[in-house]
Amino acid sequence: MRRVVLLTCAALLCAAPASQAATTLGVSDQNPLTFTNPLYAPLHFKVARYIAPYDALSYKPQATLLDQWIQNARADHQRILISFEHSRRPGHQKKAPSIAQYTSALKKFKKKYPFVKEWSPWNEVNRCQTGGRNEGQPTAICSIKKGGPKRAAQYYAAARKVCGSKCKIVALDILDGDNVGGAVSYIRAFKRYARPTPKIWGFHNYSDTNRFSSTRTRRLLAATGTGEVWLTETGGIVKLGSSFPFSTSRAAKALGCMFTLGKSSKRITRLYVYQFNGAPEGDKFDAGLVNVDGTERPGYAVVKDRKARKCHK
């Protein structure tokens, strides 16, 4: 899973006391059992995010998961943010829905869950779908020839209309990437079509957090210009393919940098840690705070104590 000025050591590179943090902290995690895990409550999270297929209610396996997650999060008094994305129905994963199809699906969601008032129209809009895998999004420029930002803006407009004036809409959930130039270009294109001007932006600043940098976050902040920023996905990567070999100690250091980045701009008002649960051995991606067997990783203590640290290796 963002600001303009060059930041001083006090603002960006130096750890600050937890009492100075103005950012609301929460989790982004797909497991309904997260909220019943005895290690979850001590983190004192107030908000929780779930990534759902836009048409989840039309596909029973996804509808069941979504409902379990929402009910458990609600029972734990979490403020819920739902980020929609591509379908999980076989044969539909790489297809971008029409505006009418998207609108119809969101109306079904609102009817079933009228109490969910925070939506993100599309998750990681700029992440390309590559190879035979179903990762990535059909809103990326590589998937819709030069039309991704326009389609994302249309989904944003549709989500605002369906959810209504009492909702908070995260206009764009964008991934920074190792080379942030593509994300910056996507934002600029999106802004040409987005009406009204977005009040909330979502950043996934994994690259800065795990490369102990601030450059990408600052460039995304500059590109968006105004409005609140929610770090809707960020965290310490324990494992990601060959780029980040398995290391819980490196991930813990990255989580410290994450907190510093979260304090780097007054515009950043929320931070969602991805993710609470660790992945089974052999999975490509893992950013969990706890192991599969339920034991704590070093990063758990960092998050529990809000231990910001300098963004350097």
pLDDT of amino acid 100:
98
Question: Does the pLDDT at position 3 exceed 60?
Answer: no
What pLDDT score does 129 carry?
78
Q: Is 3.20.20.80 the CATH classification of the domain at 9-304? A: yes
Residue 11 above 50 pLDDT?
no
pLDDT class for 10, splitting at 50, 70, 90?
very low
Q: Look up tokens 């819920």; give the residue.
A: 80
CA distance 106 to 94: 19
Q: What is the DSSP string of 256-293?
A: HHHHHHHTS-TTEEEEEES-SBPPPTT-SEE--SB-TT
**pLDDT at site 14:** 39
Q: Domain-by-domain residue ranges, the chain? A: 9-304
Half-sphere exposure of 71 (CA within 13 A, CB side): 7
pLDDT of 280 higher than 70: yes
* Count of beta carbons in the 10 Å neighbourhood of residue 149: 25
- Mean pLDDT across the chain, nearest whole number? 91
State residue 190's pLDDT score. Answer: 96
pLDDT (0 to 100) of residue 134: 64
State the pLDDT at residue 240. Answer: 95
pLDDT at 200: 98
CA-derived radius of gyration, the chain: 18
User: What is 93-150 written as a DSSP string?
Assistant: TTPPPPHHHHHHHHHHHHHH-TT--EEESSTTTTPPP-TT---S-TTSTTTTTTTHHH
Q: What 3-state class would DSSP assign to 188?
A: helix
Residue found by looking up tokens 């009817």 in the block: 111
What is the per-residue pLDDT for 135? 74
Question: Helix (H, G, I), strand (E, B), or coil: what is residue 202?
Answer: strand
Going across the sheet that includes 173-175, the strands are 168-169, 118-120, 79-85, 47-53, 24-28, 268-273, 228-234, 200-204, 173-175
Contact 311, 214 (CB under 8 A): yes
Q: Do the Cβ atoms of 169 and 200 come closer than 8 Å?
A: yes
Q: How confident is the model at residue 17 (pLDDT cuts 50, 70, 90)?
A: very low
Write down the pTM of the prediction: 0.91
| pLDDT at res. 22 | 63
Q: Summarize pLDDT for 80-121 with one digit per residue, the tens.
A: 999 999 999 999 999 999 999 999 999 999 999 999 999 999
User: Can you tell me the mean pLDDT for 234-241?
Assistant: 96
Task: Select the more confidently predicted residue: 21 or 154.
Answer: 154
pLDDT per position as a tens digit, 176-187: 999 999 999 999
Q: Which of 165, 158, 202 is nearest to 49 (CA)?
A: 202
- Confidence (pLDDT) at 246: 96
pLDDT in tens, 157-182: 999 999 999 999 999 999 999 999 99
- The Cα–Cα gap between 136 and 124 comes to 8
pLDDT band at 147 (very low <50, low <70, confident <90, very high): confident
Alpha carbon 40 to chain centroid distance?
19
